[in-house]
Homo-oligomer: A and B are copies of this chain.
Amino acid sequence: GTGADNDLYINQAVVFIEDAIQYRSINHRVDSRSLWLYRWYYSRTCQWILSLTITIILALAFIEKPSSLTVTSDVRYRLPAWNPPCGLTESIELLCFLVFVVDVSVKSYLIGWEEFWKNKWLMAYILTLIVSLTDWVVSLSFFCTENMRIRRILRPFFLLQNSSMMKKTLKSINSTLPEMASVVLLLAVHLSLFTMFAMLLFARTKDGQQDKEWVGYFRNLPDSLTSLLVLLTTANNPDVMIPAYSKNRAYSIFFILFTVLGNLFLMNLLTAIIYNQFRGYLLKSVQSSLFRRRLGIRAAFEVLSSLKDTPANAQQPYVSVGALLQVLQKVEMDSRCKQAILRSLKMCSCDQLSAAQFQKLFEELDKDAIKQHPPSPEYQSHFMQKMQFAFGHPYFGYLGNVVALANIVSICVVLVMDADKQPSERDDFFLGAINCFFILYYMLEMLLKILAMGLKRYLSYPSNRFDGLLTVILLLLEISTFAVYGFPHPGWRPEFMGLLSLWDMVRLVNMLIVFRFLRIIPNMKFMALVVTTLLDLVKNLRAFAGILVVVFYAFAITGIMLFKDAVVPLGNTSSIIFQGKMWFHGSLITFRLRLFTTYLLSVNLICRWAKIYFVAWWLISSVIWVNLFVALLLENFIHKWDRRCHREPVSDVEYQRTVELMFRDVLEEPTEEELMEKLHQHPHLQLCR
């Protein structure tokens, strides 16, 4: 019936607008039931469950068998880790797999059969699930005693496939690979030619005294290759050249040539290539997001314009305001935006909207969220007004900074004086008294500022929130210290009482004071610029960080699987090996960019596999990832720096800028033809015209 049709159109429009808001693709099924399923799938609860499942399955590695989530990392001292019984982690895993099965089925159904065959990510998802489930069955049938668990290495895939940003970034990295491979090939040629040179240059001589270089670094082909590879990471520079250099200064030419060509030229060439490839990356990704948004809005317009209550108009399609209001009621979106759209709808006071007007209404979505700070309270008394002027003035803030600096300096002085004292000789009176005084000042400052600005206005500045929170914590700590240990007096060295010793309390307070000193950042122009650049970068880096987590996880799991037998906890000679083990576990949770270089030197003894593993690790984590990071930083920073001059700082108004907004004046609006062409290619939506 017409009513049912109208309902369908309204629902389609709602979903399309939600797609536009979330920058999602609109290429999904559009019948009533699918739309319901679609909205359910993308509802906050469902997506939250999915994210939780991914987190849980990734976190399983911390409690699974060869793990070591213990406080100390030293194999000699730590207690045996808790060993979950067979079946516990496995049943959690099964639950996760079931969620993923539901996820993949819903996703496949929603995009439709034809699209499914074109979507390689979905196919890979299904394949991964099949392999994981098979591995799970094998695992259970061996009662968890089998060694290889392929499904663990596959786990990060679930993280990867769930983020469209990460998939896009991966595609981008993929397109840079051929050129990176060329440079890596060049590096390999460089390395092998110089290795041959080195072996000819530092050959064994008849005089045993003379060939220290040969004994130490160039004994045979693998040794020479390793020495020069480590020199490429600069970890054994200048040790590797010292024996030869002692013999004859001219030998240094070889090492200098190698370092200059390899480190200065080839390594930086890699940076240049990656930067060159990623120069347009941010802009392109923002541009495609904009296209998706415009497309969603346009699709909503098209379906609404085919509503039956619209008068047939051959010339131009129109959308009635009533229908739009109906849609807006159902759409889930930021309430500020919704209000703004409704306001402009009222202001326009027309009955029907053309495509351009419709598009224009939703431009509210792209706008900066302008945050107005609440006004200061208005005091009647003359005295209060003077107080307000004095303590609301920026100079009062600067005074606070100076006091904070004085506090830091005083702590520093005490630290220097106490550096070599035995803990039993230490007198906590001086620090205690000083800190007590400073914390009182901080409290006073906070209260006076609240008095001058009013609580609401005070809290609306992030720097004040940071400041206030730390001041309150410091105050609480100080009060509890005095409650437990009494007031400070000369020779104040009470015994240990309660949770923390006095010394620990004082240290904690001092650390918080040092941390609080960061409040000066917004007051220094260049620092503020740097910090905002870094924050922007962190936002843009989420996808990269995700991929890094994927790579780290896969490497850590592989490392654990490969080297778990290398751990022989007792015995002096194996200390290197179990230090190695220690690091593998560490790498589950930490970045360690130069870890490799230490290793290649120590692992030398163990086996070739370890060497290959570490070289791969170094190439991916240190060389490629760091260069990607540098490329993004350059891109972000140069953009920000160029624009710094153009913008006037508006007082009392804060713009909450998103990445999209940073590029706004460079972005191209998609044309009507592009949008319509894309709409006509939609696999499930049949437009009337």
Q: Which residues of A contact B (CB under 8 A)?
A: 70-74, 77, 179, 182-183, 186, 193, 196-197, 199-201, 203-206, 219-221, 234, 237-239, 242, 245-250, 252, 256, 259-260, 263-265, 268-269, 271-273, 275-276, 279, 408, 411-412, 415-416, 419-424, 503, 507, 510-511, 514, 517-518, 526-527, 530, 533-534, 537, 579, 582-583, 586, 590-595, 598, 626, 629-630, 633-634, 637-638, 641
Known: A507-B203, A514-B200. A72 touches B246 (CB 8 A): yes
Count copies of this chain in the complex.
Answer: 2
Contact across chains for A634 and B272 when beta carbons are under 8 A apart: yes
Contact across chains for A248 and B591 when beta carbons are under 8 A apart: no
Nearest neighbor of A625 in chain B, beta-carbon distance: B264
Q: How far is the CB of A467 from chain B (nearest CB, A)?
A: 16
Contact across chains for B511 and A197 when beta carbons are under 8 A apart: yes
Nearest neighbor of A595 in chain B, beta-carbon distance: B238
Chain B residues in 8 Å Cβ range of A638: 272, 275-276, 279
Interface of A is mostly: helix
Question: In the complex, given contacts A71-B248, A201-B511, A268-B630, what are 17 additional A-B residue pairs having Cβ atoms less than 8 angstroms apart?
Answer: A71-B249, A73-B245, A186-B526, A196-B408, A196-B415, A199-B419, A204-B423, A206-B424, A220-B416, A221-B412, A238-B598, A246-B582, A252-B586, A268-B634, A269-B530, A272-B634, A273-B637
Chain B residues in 8 Å Cβ range of A411: 196
The 7 residue pairs across chains A and B that have the minimum distance between CB atoms: A220-B419, A74-B246, A272-B637, A182-B526, A200-B507, A206-B423, A272-B634
Contact across chains for B247 and A420 when beta carbons are under 8 A apart: no
Q: How far is the CB of A224 from chain B (nearest CB, A)?
A: 9
A570 to B518, CA, bound (A): 51
A541 to B242, CA, bound (A): 29
Chain B residues in 8 Å Cβ range of A419: 199, 219-221
Contact across chains for B416 and A221 when beta carbons are under 8 A apart: yes
A598 to B235, CA, bound (A): 10
From the candidates B193, B200, B507, B595, name the one contacting A517 in the complex (CB within 8 A). Answer: B193
10 pairs from A and B in contact (CB 8 Å cutoff)? A72-B248, A73-B249, A186-B527, A200-B507, A219-B419, A221-B412, A234-B593, A238-B594, A268-B634, A269-B637
A154 to B219, CA, bound (A): 46
Known: A219-B420, A252-B586. A534 touches B196 (CB 8 A): no
A242 to B246, CA, bound (A): 32
Nearest neighbor of A517 in chain B, beta-carbon distance: B193
From the candidates B234, B265, B279, B511, name the one contacting A594 in the complex (CB within 8 A). Answer: B234
Chain B residues in 8 Å Cβ range of A203: 503, 507
Contact across chains for A269 and B633 when beta carbons are under 8 A apart: yes
Known: A220-B420, A238-B594, A591-B260. A193 touches B514 (CB 8 A): yes
Q: How far is the CB of A169 from chain B (nearest CB, A)?
A: 18
